[in-house]
Structure 1
Amino acid sequence: MYQGAYDGTKYLVDLNHRHLFFMDYCRNKDQLAPDVYRDRFIGFKKAIDEYNIPFESAQRITFDIEDQSEIGSGLMNTLRLYPKITAISAHDDRLAIRFYVELLQNGYRVPGDMSLIAPGDTLEYSLPYIPKITMLKIDTNLLGSLSADSILQRIDNNSHINTSLRVTQQLVRRESCRRVDAPTATL
């Protein structure tokens, strides 16, 4: 999960974006896979740190994903505070689509005014009413197969050793990112 966020952020930086937000959502502390949320931010932060891109803690925003009005008002308030922002890295495409809707409703063009990227593959992009968000696709079939193999090995070997699976995510270029004219160094 770290690598997908890193690669997505690096893609934005390669498109000359130097003013970025990281958008996340609140989760129940008992929810499965809490490391995913931490790792995605770490991947994002590592990419911008490698390019010495300034980043303030206020540029990481967390929303209640079920409260579209909070997302809308929070996003617009944040964009007023940081008018130079040209790109948003969302935790996943489920959250990115909510930002996409808010941006359009508030007069922003995606990608004309704001680029948007997210790891994940939870939306049905073949449907005509789903915006084509640039994302990092998770090979869920491979991940499932590797997980099943790992479980079977643990059972066969009567092992209690935890293993970590890493599956490279593939960048899927769609219609939500653009190159900016020239990089700048300040906020």
Structure 2
Amino acid sequence: MTRLIDVAKLAKVSTATVSRVINNNGYVSAKVRERVMKAIEELGYQPAKAARFLAKSGQNFDIGVVADDWVLKSITTVIDEFYSIVYKGIIDFSKNHRMNIHLLDVNSWDENADGFLLIGGGITKELVREVKKTKKPLVLVDQYLPGLKVDYVVSDGYDGAVFAVDKLISKGMKRIVHIHGPLSHFGFRDRYDGYMATMEMHGFMPKSYEFDEINDNMSTIVDMMLRSYGKPDAIFGSNDTAAIRAMEELKSRGFRIPEDISVIGFDDIMSASLVSPKLTTLKIFKYDLGSIAARRLFNLLMGEEKHPVKISLFTQYIERESTI
């Protein structure tokens, strides 16, 4: 029985190089690639994976990146914010893996694609069920919908929220308000749950408000909070946009950040390091969300590791100037 090492010896390369050729993963010169392919053919080396690769060696995969209008606009018009960086991770991986990327709206997606990446909170269970009917591989990115048994790549918002709230409490803060996005979005719900659990664990009363980013109701939220709840010790925003808008509204009312009120965001978009004061936040590894999701889809297209998985990326606490 021919082994991988036999191919490597005949081609006079390492087994790692043979693996890269078979997986089409990583740089291999055209000359070395040709030598490895000839060795595979001469020795009749045909494991299931190599057979699939040889059969598809001239084929590119058409990948549908499906998202709602808001996410698509974020991808195509915003530089170095959240979804544009996720999308860059997808694009960079696809360049070396024969994947042609096509942006598709949730209302007009093309079922003829070879596989699908479904991105953001606008992805619904109904849409996922429709895509599943195509029998094509699919991966959800930055969205989790329990009970569907499909592949997901998300950030661990729960763990990030626990860390952030614990950090504020360790500095003597008790009155911590959470301003979150729509809880129908898994990411916002995950962070909300982490906030609620941590506040309750410490015996403190949680208080939250929902921020409508599209219509921007932050001024109303801040007025309502100050009128009915009073001045908080800190505000934890479920994304950097909410946290930055909260800072702007608080400063316009005469509050100093962080001397009067500390503020923490979530995401670490570029704006977080440009505002004044610079925003303390939880960094989501957005590029990795995209590249890992694309890699997972590629594995499914190659018939590997077919059992659905949920991949959750931990966040990193970035301390700047908006917290004491």
TM-score (norm 1): 0.80
Contact 2:257 2:263 in 1 (8 A): yes
Partners of 2:272 and 2:229 in 1: how far apart?
A: 30
Where does residue 189 of structure 2 map in the other structure?
38
The answer to whether the Cα contact below 8 Å between 2:237 and 2:263 also exists between their aligned partners in 1 is yes
Q: Separation in 2 of the partners of 1:166 and 1:26?
A: 20
Q: Is the 8 A contact 1:94 1:123 kept in 2?
A: no
* 1:4 equivalent among 135, 160, 172: 160
Q: Please, what is the CA RMSD of the aligned residues?
A: 2.1
What residue number does 1:184 align with?
Answer: none
| CA deviation vs aligned residue, 1:48-76 (integer Å, no higher than 9, x gap) | 12212122xxx2101322344x3113212
In 1: Cα distance, 2:245 partner to 2:231 partner: 21
Name the counterpart of 2:177. Answer: 21
Match of 1:95 in 2: 242
Q: Is residue 115 of structure 1 aligned with residue 115 of structure 2? A: no
Paired with 1:38 and 1:77, the residues of 2 have a C-alpha distance of: 22
Structure number with the bigger relative contact order (C-alpha 8 A, sep ≥ 6) is 1
Any idea what the Cα deviations from partners look like across 1:97-121, whole Å, max 9, x if unmatched?
1001000000111101111111112
Q: Letter of the aligned partner of 1:157 in structure 2?
A: G
Shift of 1:26: 4.2
Equivalent residue number for residue 128 of structure 2: none
Q: Secondary structure of the equivalent of 1:61?
A: strand
Check the 8 A contact 2:244/2:272 in 1, yes or no.
no
Paired letter, 2:317:
L
How far apart in 2 are the matches of 1:154 and 1:12? Answer: 42
Q: Tell me how far apart the structure 2 counterparts of residues 44 and 126 of structure 1 sit (CA, whole Å).
A: 23
Per-residue CA deviation, residues 27-52 of structure 1 (Å, 9 max, x unaligned), is 8x6xxxx2112111011112212212
Unaligned runs of 5+ in 2: 1-156
1:83 corresponds to: 230
- Structure 1 runs not aligned, ≥5 long: 179-187
Matched letter for residue 151 of structure 1: L
Query: TM-score, normalised on structure 2?
Result: 0.48
Counterpart contact for 1:8–1:118, Cα < 8 Å: no
Determine if contact 1:5/1:118 at 8 Å carries over to the other structure.
Answer: no
Q: CA deviation at 1:172?
A: 0.6
CA–CA distance in structure 1, aligned partners of residues 242 and 306 of structure 2: 35
Distance 1:154 1:13 in 2: 43
Identity %: 27
Alignment of 1:48 with 2:199, yes or no, is: yes
Distance 2:267 2:174 in 1: 23
| Residue 142 in structure 1 maps to residue 288 in structure 2 | yes
Report the CA distance shift for 1:8/1:159 in structure 2 as closer, same or farther (over 3 A).
same
1:84 CA drift (Å): 5.0
Partner in structure 1 of residue 308 of structure 2: 162
| Counterpart among 210, 219, 224 of residue 62 in structure 1 | 210
Say whether the 8 Å CA contact 2:240–2:272 is kept in structure 1. Answer: no
| Matched positions, count | 168
Distance 1:46 1:133, change over 3 A: same
Higher Cα radius of gyration: 2
Q: Distance in 2 between matches of 1:130 and 1:107?
A: 15
**How far is 1:92 from its partner?**
0.4
Call closer, same or farther: CA 1:89–1:148 in 2, change over 3 Å.
same
Tell me how far 1:141 sits from its aligned partner.
2.7
Q: Segments of 4+ in structure 1 off by > 4 A?
A: none
